[in-house]
Structures are given as C-alpha cells and as structure tokens.
A = this chain, B = another copy of it.
Amino acid sequence: MAEPNTNTNSLNDQPKGTRKRIGGPTESTPPEPGSGSGSGSTSGVPCGACKFLRRRCVDGCIFAPHFSPEQGTALFAAVHKVFGASNVSKLLMQLPLHLRRHAVETISYEAQARLSDPVCGCVSIIIALQQQVQSSKFQSKIVSEI
C-alpha cells in the first residue's frame, strides 16, 4: 500500500490540561497477542496512547494492544489530532477484538495521510490509483488492437 508521508514534526503537540478518561476502564478484555504493549497498570508502563494523553494506563486499556510505549506515542498523536481519542475509542469498542488491529491500522494510515495532506488526506491516493487504473485499461486496449 502506498504509505503516507509520516512526517511527525507536527505530531508532537501534547494535549493541554487534564482530560476525561477515555476508553480504558470500560474494557476488560485481554490484549491481542503480539501487538502493542498490552501493558496497562500491571506492568506500570503506560501504552503509547496513555503516555500521550498523560494518564494512567489501566488494565484492559482499549488502546494498549495497538499503541506500544515506544513507537505508539507518535502514531497515537496523529490519530488523536485527526480523529480524537474519544471517537476512536468508541469506534473500537463497537468492533470485535479480532478486527480492532486492522481498524487501528487503517485509522492510523488515514490520520497520517491527513496530516501529510490536510486538503485531500488519503483520498489523493484513491484519485491517483483511479487514474492509474484508467491509464492501464487504455494501454491494454491499445495493445490488444495492434
């Protein structure tokens, strides 16, 4: 998949003041294996999302399986800036566990694309691909007529 420009210069703005607790306490399911930190309060290390939101990462934090303490903070900053933590939390809670990873991947992709290109976001990729499909079809037609 075409990767959006992941320039994170504009992603370092920390949220101001205290924030409402989002997502965390409502989830009591275990983290998906092999993804994120799955931390929460047990390990004492907050996940990338809670680190960014400057809050305690509780057991079953909905973001913990997907945003690691190391690389997850910058990624979550993009997601938070474009979609908002609360909206993403609500969206993930509606999904079964096994689909959440893919949802986080596509949300992160869209968020990064929107920060790279605030006017078009990832829609510019769709437009470019549509033009490529049209061009390929046209070329196929020409070649088949020779």
Contacts and interface: CB of A to CB of B under 8 A. Distances in A.
Interface residues of A, number: 39
Contacts of A126: 1-2, 122, 125-126, 129
Interface in A118-144: 118-127, 129-130, 132-133, 136-137, 139-140, 143-144
Interface stretch (A19-27, A31-39, A81-89): A81-89
Contacts of A97: none
Contacts of A103: 118-120
When all copies of this chain in the complex are counted, the total is 2
Question: Which one of A1, A120, A126, A140 has the greatest number of beta carbons of chain B within 10 Å?
Answer: A126
A139 B144 CA distance: 10
Question: Which one of A95, A118, A123, A129 has the greatest number of beta carbons of chain B within 10 Å?
Answer: A123
Given A132-B133, A133-B132, A91 B118 contact: yes
A32 to B, nearest CB: 14
Contacts of A132: 129, 133
Interface string A87-130: 10001001100010011001101100010001111111111011
A144 B139 CA distance: 10
B127 A130 contact: no
Interface of A: 1-2, 81-84, 86-87, 91, 94-95, 99, 102-103, 106-107, 109-110, 114, 118-127, 129-130, 132-133, 136-137, 139-140, 143-144
